[in-house]
Amino acid sequence: MLKTHLKSSKEYQPGLSIDCVIFGFDDNQLKVLLIKTGYDNSWSLPGGFVSIDEDIDTAAVSILQARTGLKGIFLRQFATFGAVKRNQNHFSSDALAYFGIPLEEEKWYKSRFVTIGYYALVNFSKAIPQPDNPGEMVEWIDHHEVPKLILDHREILDKALETLRTELNLMPIGYNLLPEKFTIPELQKLYETILGRTLDRRNFLRKITAIGILTKLDEKKSNVAHKAPNLYSFDKDKYEEVLKNGLTQGW
């Protein structure tokens, strides 16, 4: 959550933070971007504070861009987490000393924080995980293999995944997670991975085609062992239109 070159606490909105659940899809796995701090072995979600002169959504975009190097990607606010003792004893004196926080600022960091959760869908191949402090690690981890997380970050992650599964019935998914060209089986595998269950192949093809967001290309997937499947791309304009208006069918 902390950043190098932190401003004075007076420049941040008191008691407010942002935590981002950043999803990527690779090798048929839904992955989450996690951070391992430089001062201990704790893992956490990417996050940060909100400047007094900064909109909340703008702060979330800044955090996302700083961690992935990407701009203009899908980002959605999904929940607020404000348990009274959610960050009690989290910022120890040793941790704050590691980040060079002056003694007069410690009380601010140890006070109660309400955090706003955002989830993001990014293209795994284009995102470049970027450490923010010396000794810090930023890694993609399969959502089934997430280690123990700090604070209530596991709760935040679980809520983000629950929200994503629910919204899969309300909006199209894939534009930010798949490469520019993909096959129907690859798109179906993405849906199955997020939902955690198998979908009927013919029923999936019928439904996804009916949405009208796919363009069938005059190309086939190369370097495959069996009959080469057709390649598709998203019609961005139609995709955005459906994203705005919502779906009328579920999975």
- Pairing state of beta strands 114-122 and 12-26? parallel
Domain ranges, residue 203 = 184-245
> Are residues 191 and 158 part of one domain?
no
Distance in angstroms (rounded) separating the CA atoms of residues 213 and 70: 24
Classify residue 114: in a domain, yes or no. yes
How many CB atoms lie under 10 A from the CB of residue 39? 17
Q: Which position has the token pair 């470049």?
A: 128
> Are residues 216 and 159 part of one domain?
no
Is the pLDDT confidence value at 50 over 80?
Answer: yes
Is the pLDDT confidence value at 4 over 50?
Answer: no
Q: What is the pTM of this model?
A: 0.87
pLDDT in tens, 138-197: 999 999 999 999 999 999 999 999 999 999 989 999 998 999 999 999 999 999 999 999
197 burial via Cβ count (<10 Å: 0-12, 13-18, 19+): exposed
pLDDT in tens, 203-219: 999 999 999 999 999 99
Classify residue 250: in a domain, yes or no. no
pLDDT in tens, 69-118: 888 788 999 999 999 888 766 766 777 777 777 877 878 887 889 999 99
What is the number of structural domains in the chain?
2
CATH for 163: 3.90.79.10
Single out the residue in 112, 132, 167 at which a domain terminates: 167
